[in-house]
A = this chain, B = another copy of it.
Amino acid sequence: MPFEPIEPRRLFRRIAEQIAAMIARGDLPPGSRLPAERELAQRLNVSRPSVREALIALEIAGLVEVRGGSGVYVRNGAPEPVAQPADAPGPFDVLEARMVVEPECAARAARAEPAARAAVAEAFGRMAAARRAGRPDEDSDRAFHLAIAEAAGNTALARIVGGLWRDQTAPLASRLTDLAVSPARRRDNLAEHAAIATAIVAGDAAAARAAMRRHLSAVRRARLQGLEGA
């Protein structure tokens, strides 16, 4: 008898989520052993196979580790939703990392299907519109770069770019550099984005890579000057 007939989802998912919730809540600290399969089954009023399926799902998801004959343990390096501000990279490290990753993303995006490339063009359109309307274009700027990373069609790369932008915008230190953007720089920024979008839509991978590289170089140059002149 499933413990609650209210939810239509598959049983092992409900069980897995329940266990994951315990881990996230701290009821099951990292490294600790969770109850035996038989006991979990009895406690949750489900069968042992269902518990096993849930545990396998959690194992593949990287939340727990199953040691045969011993027990199931909460994984130590469990990905926490909270980020530690301590070792956050500095703004220039982030920018350099972007110069490694994003040109390649742009090149791949240029080789993507037309639909994906159209999404990049659309993101650029929104950014241009925001700028014309005088709205802060920080969000649409980020959205543009993220659209390119997503168009590249690689989840891992998209996640990396997303993380870099988070590192870049979150810390207060980088906020300071953000303010250093002059109206002229803002205009150039838009023009550089246009070059990138054009190359991607045209399917020219080499041009897209070069345009992205130029753009990021310009951003770095502006930041270096901003720190002096402002």
What's the nearest-Cβ distance from chain B to residue A67, in Å?
11
Binds B, one of A123-131, A168-176, A194-202: A168-176
Beta-carbon contacts of A23-62 to B below 8 Å, as 1s and 0s?
A: 0000000000000000000000000010011001110111
What's the nearest-Cβ distance from chain B to residue A56, in Å?
5
Binds B, one of A157-165, A178-186, A210-218, A219-227: A157-165
CB-CB contacts below 8 Å: A56-113 with B: 56-58, 60-63, 66, 68, 75, 77, 79, 84-90, 93-94, 96-97, 100-101, 104
Closest to A79 in B: B155
Please tell me if the beta carbons of A62 and B171 are within 8 angstroms of each other in the complex.
yes
Main secondary structure of the interface of A (DSSP, over half): helix
Chain B residues near A170: list those with CB within 8 A.
Answer: 62, 75, 77
Please tell me if the beta carbons of A87 and B56 are within 8 angstroms of each other in the complex.
no
- How far apart are the CA atoms of A96 and B171 in the complex, in Å? 28
Chain B residues near A118: list those with CB within 8 A.
Answer: none
- How far apart are the CA atoms of A154 and B90 in the complex, in Å? 9
Please tell me if the beta carbons of B166 and A77 are within 8 angstroms of each other in the complex.
yes
- How far apart are the CA atoms of A100 and B12 in the complex, in Å? 37
A133 within 8 A of B: no
Contact partner, A57, options B60, B159, B175, Cβ 8 Å? B60
Chain B residues near A53: list those with CB within 8 A.
Answer: 52-53, 56
- How far apart are the CA atoms of A126 and B101 in the complex, in Å? 30
Please tell me if the beta carbons of B154 and A60 are within 8 angstroms of each other in the complex.
no
Taking A49-B49, A57-B85 as known contacts, 10 extra A-B pairs with beta carbons closer than 8 A to each other, sorted by chain A number, are A20-B85, A53-B53, A60-B171, A60-B175, A62-B86, A62-B170, A87-B155, A96-B156, A96-B157, A97-B156
Contacts A/B (CB < 8 Å), 6 sampled: A10-B68, A88-B155, A93-B155, A96-B156, A156-B164, A160-B164
